[in-house]
Structure 1
Amino acid sequence: MQMMRKLVPTGIAAAEIDRMTIHSFLGEQRNSGKPRTIKLDDSKLENEWRSVEYLLIDEMSMVGLTLPAKLNRIISIAKHVDPQVSFGGVNIIFFGDYLQYRSVYDASLHTDFSLPSKKKSSKLLTEKEIQQRVARSLILQINCVVKLTQQMCTEDSRYLQLLECLRHGQCNYDDYELLLTRVVGQPSKGSLCDSPWNKAPILVFRNEVRTQLNNKAAIHNAAQLGHVPMVCVAQDTCNGKPIKDPILIKK
């Protein structure tokens, strides 16, 4: 029985902390204009939400208002509760910092629709804009805010000072020089260039990063051994015949 679900807006964050993206959980594609079709007697959906009492959403700055609106609609149907009950009675807990990143192609959770808009007032709101305003009214019902003041990611006081200046847009040349060194942390910590860390495997979630690391490692090892790196181009075939498709050859 799963009483708590943990969701994040991006696939990379989900892979790092063993969670699921919000879009995957909703069963919808990102930026899809078509809402998910839900039947009132969807037993699979009901089973997914039957025991859920808490929903944790991380990286809240990247979550736009469209997603909470969809969540509210789906949970209300799955729980068979009055649509006026926010999120079907499930406790929603947001984690993160409003000022960290912006949501993509969506209005931020802190969007104030009461402010004057550049959009012509005579133009009718789209369905998406209506749902964003519904979600904003849900966000305004949050009744508890906890501010964490102790930095747990680093103990480097100089780096913490830099982050604080960066947050308020007050960085100076000394901060710039510190970033150029790319050295953050305690000087007593071992270097990745020293044994045994220089032979430790590196895990990444992007093939592009993996390829760049492998290229640099190959060049470095060749230089250490006094050899010249060689590039061997693969001659791929399909059913025993050379591939002639220029698109496949380019890739």
Structure 2
Amino acid sequence: MRTEDVRYLELLNRLRSGRSTREDYQLLCSRIIGSPNLKTSLRQSPWNEAPILVFRNTVRTQINNRAVLNKTIELGVTPIVCVAQDYVRGAMIDDPRLRKAILELPDNRTEHLPGYLPLVPGMPVLLTENIATELGLSNGTRGVFHQLVYEECLQDTQLYENNFPEHTKFVLQPKYALVEFPSCKLDHALSKLGQKIIPICLSEQTFQFDIKELLAENASKATKLTKRATKISIKRKALPLVPAYSITTHKSQGQTLGKVIIDLVVPPGPVEIASTYVPLSRVKRLEDLLILRPFKFETLQVQPSAAQLDELNRLDTIAKETLKHYNVST
């Protein structure tokens, strides 16, 4: 367990077994942004660099895009957006409506290669594929973007301008991005690059897109329009990076974060114990956590399944045996 705060550890143990109390709820509510006794500013360090954990990929993308654009305004630089290159049967998509629809897909539907990748020097990014796991460069590794190397390309950008400010520079042929990975295990700096700075090249992935999404807003109505197969295979070339101002709770699993801002208003539908336990357990102390907005007590009342209880009991048994063996050996 990564948690160092004993009181917070007890809260998490009750949460994961479905036994959260009103006192637990009140304690967490004391960390909601805007609470009377909470003297913090999101504009100042360290909270201005804390990632925001959310449940939905679309919300994450919206927060990230806005955060990057705000950073460009703060630095007084021109926004840069890398636009993915999408192909069908080896030819680049030239139909404007289809191209726009595919570019706007959330990256959880495009094998984690974003259609639009806004960039600004100094921004946090996440690697979205395994580059060199032996060096610590794997899916989910956090880094800091430094520079984009690309070829100039004169193309019509009217497809993209309604998503970003008018003065945005759209890069259609990126070569690679220079990204600093503090946790990288590379012993020596690469030629002419600083320590821990790694060139990240284009990746290539294939995903499916159902063109019924373009035929009508109502999917059932679209189905009646055609009985033929409507899915097409899209090959995408793009940088395997996404901004990391905001990340999904799913992507945060296994990470220990210094400071974090989380949203505990869960989306409609079935809720699992991990939905709340995962984001709350990313930090070592309660004071390292801020909660984005008020949430319901019922959010903490999710009961673990029988299989989850069996796994929790198994892990508790291993922990006790390990501690017992440690005490005997010392």
Q: TM-score range by the shorter chain?
A: under 0.3
> Under a length normalisation based on structure 2, what TM-score does the superposition of the two structures give?
0.21
The answer to which structure has the higher helix fraction is: 1
Greater relative CO, 1 or 2 (CA 8 Å, sep 6+) = 2
Structure with larger Rg: 1
